[in-house]
Amino acid sequence: MAIQKNKIYRAEIVDYTAEGSGVARIEGMAVFVPNTAVGDQCDIRIVKVNKRMAFGRLDRVIIPSHDRIEPACPVAGKCGGCCFQHISYEAELRAKFKKVDDALSHLGGTPGILDGITGADETTHYRNKAQYPVGQDAHGTYTGFYRPHSHDIVKTERCLIQSERADRLAAAVCAWMDAHNVTAYDEKTGKGLIRHIYVRTGAVSGETHLCLIATRSKLPAADDLIERLTKAEPSLVGIVVNINKRGDNVILGQHTVTLWGEPVLQDSLCGNVFQLSPHAFYQVNHAQTEKLYARALELADLHGGETVVDLYCGAGTITLALAAKADKVIGVEIVPVAIENAKENAARNGVGNVSFICADAGQAAMMLAERGERPDVLTVDPPRKGLDEQAVEAIARMQPPKVVYVSCDPATLARDLKRFAEYGYYAQTARAFDLFPRTKHVETVLVLTKKTNDQAE
């Protein structure tokens, strides 16, 4: 019998999707059910049926999984930020290892290369970057996070994965808005002033920086805002306003003005000091990033005489770490302000053997290939969409013997491994790193090497 919408079925959860939902098998069909744990025996209400799969909602847990725990977060299951608050951290690590291993094995055609997953020592308040959407109702101004697959804000006064400093500053902004009748931006009408509250914190420096995303630079009662914020968080070193008049859901606009203090946040990573503008990419979990980058350097295996190209270099965090071990490093990044940050960071740390190119990774790789650059090692740390075909082709044209790939999406990593294989590059070893405890996300670092003609035979 075909599975029926709105009907309740009893089934066991046997796996997880890449998005962190549980998977049950009902009437021979895969059913995806959020907020469930492998081993749960539960009643599932079917809410949507497609030709090959169905989607359900947890109605009742009959026999709980051994992995199931009581979520510490009051909005677990409602907010779209975390999907694993209801299972033990050990179970989460197993799920993430399997997610990466399945992608590498089944999609990437490289079974058996994942040698483990490095879990986090801290699973709460680990994020150094918080971006809160702002809403208003009859009770006043509030912040929170979007409900899954929507832009409905789930009110959240205290988030267990954000820094407590960020929560305090968000509350202070909301109080200022209520005190002065400052309006929150309404996506439906396009009216309102404050869109997002963006807070960054420095794990080593101890500094905190706040960016208000608004539809204009001039804020009412700015002096009161500054007073409230500096009182709420003594570590605050700067307040900036980013102007975003766009009608889409892109958070940051192009132009930023300083309201008070410093325009950037300073922090240290892998022994180097960085100044970070709101636009600059910086990994959100400092402790885990140092472990991830250490593994990337280990895989690069530099001895001092190498030329390295670092694509998607951001503010130069990996670039400068590579420069300490190589003869010359070329960093590539498409965001102009990030490239300026990278140049300033190199100068600040006295690193003279680096240069930077502001361009799309594929275009820059093609340009470097055309001018005859032959790096000994090439590193990539792309966004979730991975590398495009032009970038892979250009990398292959430069013929680096070794490519170190840092990935935040196992599926696009696996796809790119297939593309690299067409040019004779094969993954040798990989390791997963959990930079995002309680969420679906996981990082992977691996090394690809160019197969020689002798090996090909």
Q: What is the mean pLDDT of residues 254-273?
A: 96
pLDDT at 453: 55
452 pLDDT more than 80: no
**Active-site position among 73, 79, 313, 408:** 408
pLDDT at 1: 67
Give the confidence band of 75 by pLDDT, cuts at 50, 70, 90: very high
Architecture of domain 129-269: Beta Barrel (2.40)
Q: What is the mean pLDDT of residues 69-87?
A: 93
Could you list the residues known to form a binding site for S-adenosyl-L-methionine, using ranges.
Answer: 283, 312, 333, 381
pLDDT at 419: 96
**What global pTM score does this model have?**
0.93
pLDDT at 204: 97
Task: Extract long-range pairs of 23-26: CB within 8 Å, 24+ residues apart.
Answer: 24/56, 26/54
389 pLDDT more than 80: yes
Assess contact for 268 and 315: CB atoms under 8 A: no
77 pLDDT more than 90: no
443 pLDDT more than 50: yes
CATH 2.40.50.1070 domain position(s) in the chain: 129-269
Q: Which CATH superfamily groups domain 93-121+285-456?
A: Vaccinia Virus protein VP39 (3.40.50.150)
Query: For residue 1, which of 18, 26, 19, 22 has the smallest C-alpha distance?
Result: 26
Could you list the residues known to form a binding site, using ranges.
Answer: 283, 312, 333, 381
Q: What is the pLDDT of residues 287-326, one digit of tens each?
A: 999 999 999 999 999 999 999 999 999 889 999 999 999 9
Q: What is the mean pLDDT of residues 256-261?
A: 98
Q: Give me the residues paired with residue 131 across strands.
A: 198
363 pLDDT more than 90: no
Buried b (16+ CB within 10 A) or exposed e, 131-156: bbbbbbeeeebbbbbeebeeeebbeb
pLDDT at 2: 85
Q: What is the pLDDT of residues 324-360, one digit of tens each?
A: 999 999 999 988 888 888 999 999 999 999 999 999 8
More confident site: 365 or 200: 200
Q: What is the mean pLDDT of residues 424-441?
A: 97
Average pLDDT of the chain, as a whole number: 95
pLDDT at 454: 47
Q: Which CATH superfamily groups domain 8-68?
A: Nucleic acid-binding proteins (2.40.50.140)
> Is 408 marked active-site?
yes
pLDDT at 76: 92
Assess contact for 259 and 318: CB atoms under 8 A: no
Q: What is the pLDDT of residues 121-172, one digit of tens each?
A: 999 999 999 999 999 999 999 999 999 888 899 999 999 999 999 999 999 9
The share of the chain scoring above pLDDT 70, in percent, equals 98
Question: Torsion-angle region of residue 206: left (phi > 0), alpha (psi -120 to 50) or beta?
Answer: left
pLDDT at 456: 43
Q: What is the mean pLDDT of residues 12-22?
A: 97
pLDDT at 362: 83
Task: Extract long-range pairs of 260-264: CB within 8 Å, 24+ residues apart.
Answer: 260/226, 260/230, 261/236, 261/237, 262/209, 262/237, 262/238, 263/238, 264/209, 264/238, 264/341
72 pLDDT more than 50: yes
CATH 3.40.50.150 domain position(s) in the chain: 93-121+285-456
Buried b (16+ CB within 10 A) or exposed e, 390-422: ebbbbbbebebebbbbbbbbbbbbbbbbebbbe
pLDDT at 457: 36
Query: Of the spans 232-246, 327-341, 359-373, which averages the highest pLDDT?
Result: 232-246
